[in-house]
């Protein structure tokens, strides 16, 4: 069984998905989330500043559990670990990425979007998976539909989660956490609106507690 990221989740089960473009944003952004109750972060490799931001936050923000998201390749898997990431997340897996994961004991949350992908990941030892893009796949109806045939798989749905549907997602029996960009969307990060991000984080932390 691959090490599960659930061992890292003792706090609220809401994971902000972050894109950090300006390295200067790394510390105030992470602090506005952690100080308001969201300590598990997913920093995506969707910007040039990402690896540097991961290193900065991992070294300087006490209490932060730094996850690295949007991992697509073995090279990114290695870079994420070298930067100090504590767990990894992918939107899906290729055969090559799966092979690399099989040789790694780094906590990892791989993405699945179909029953066949769920079963492939389950065979590879992943009983916790990211359901992505959750809303496009049918959202809560999809989670309910797969709860029968693959009831031993637990999901972190992301993609289309927002304050209006977050509670419903979290209340599903096969959901262990939810994630998304609504807490710190790019426009608020670009505007350096740490107060609003902190307010959203505090609201989200209440959901998962
Ligand atoms: C992810 O990488 O998990 C998604 O970008 C999150 O999707 P959202 O923007 O709909 O929250």
Least Cα distance to 21 among 185, 133, 183 occurs for 185
- Annotated catalytic residue within 13, 21, 24, 42: 42
- The residue contributing the CA closest to ligand 1 atom 3 is 158
Is the pTM above the cut of 0.90?
yes
> How far away, in angstroms, is 12 Cα from ligand 1 center?
18
Cβ of 184 below 6 Å from ligand 1: no
Name the burial class of residue 81, with classes exposed (0-12), middle (13-18) and buried (19+) by CB atoms within 10 angstroms of its CB: middle
Show the domain range for 181: 5-208
Least Cα distance to 146 among 101, 172, 115 occurs for 115
How many domains does the chain divide into?
1
User: For this structure, is 42 an active site residue?
Assistant: yes
Taking a C-beta distance cutoff of 8 angstroms, is the pair 47, 70 a contact?
Answer: no
CATH number at 202 reads 3.20.20.70
Name the burial class of residue 96, with classes exposed (0-12), middle (13-18) and buried (19+) by CB atoms within 10 angstroms of its CB: exposed
pLDDT in tens, the chain (209 residues): 777 777 777 666 999 999 999 999 999 999 999 999 999 999 999 999 999 999 999 999 999 999 999 999 999 999 999 999 999 999 999 999 999 998 899 999 999 999 999 999 999 999 999 999 999 999 999 999 999 999 999 999 999 999 999 999 999 999 999 999 999 999 999 999 999 999 999 999 999 66
Is the confidence metric ipTM above 0.85 for this complex? yes
Query: Under 8 Å CB-to-CB from 145, ≥6 apart: which residues?
Result: 138
**What does the alpha-carbon distance between residue 71 and residue 132 come to, in Å, rounded to a whole number?**
13
> How far away, in angstroms, is 8 Cα from ligand 1 center?
20
Cβ of 157 below 6 Å from ligand 1: no
């Amino acid at each position: 069984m691959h090490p599960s990221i659930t061992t890292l989740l003792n706090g609220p089960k809401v994971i902000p998905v972050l894109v950090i473009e300006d390295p200067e944003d790394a510390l105030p952004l992470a602090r506005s989330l952690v100080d308001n109750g969201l300590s598990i972060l997913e920093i995506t490799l969707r910007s040039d500043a990402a690896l540097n931001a991961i290193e900065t936050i991992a070294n300087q923000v006490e209490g932060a559990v730094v996850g690295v998201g949007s991992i697509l390749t073995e090279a990114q898997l290695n870079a994420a670990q070298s930067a100090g990431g504590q767990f990894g997340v992918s939107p899906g897996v290729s055969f090559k990425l799966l092979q690399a994961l099989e040789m790694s004991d780094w906590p990892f949350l791989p993405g699945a979007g179909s029953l066949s992908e769920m079963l492939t990941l389950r065979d590879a030892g992943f009983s916790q998976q990211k359901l992505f893009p959750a809303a496009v796949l049918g959202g809560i109806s999809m989670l309910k539909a797969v709860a029968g045939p693959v009831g031993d798989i637990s999901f972190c749905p992301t993609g289309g989660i927002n304050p209006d549907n977050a509670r419903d997602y979290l209340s599903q029996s096969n959901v262990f956490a939810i994630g998304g960009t609504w807490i710190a969307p790019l426009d608020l990060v670009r505007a350096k609106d740490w107060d609003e991000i902190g307010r959203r984080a505090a609201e989200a932390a209440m959901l998962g507690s």
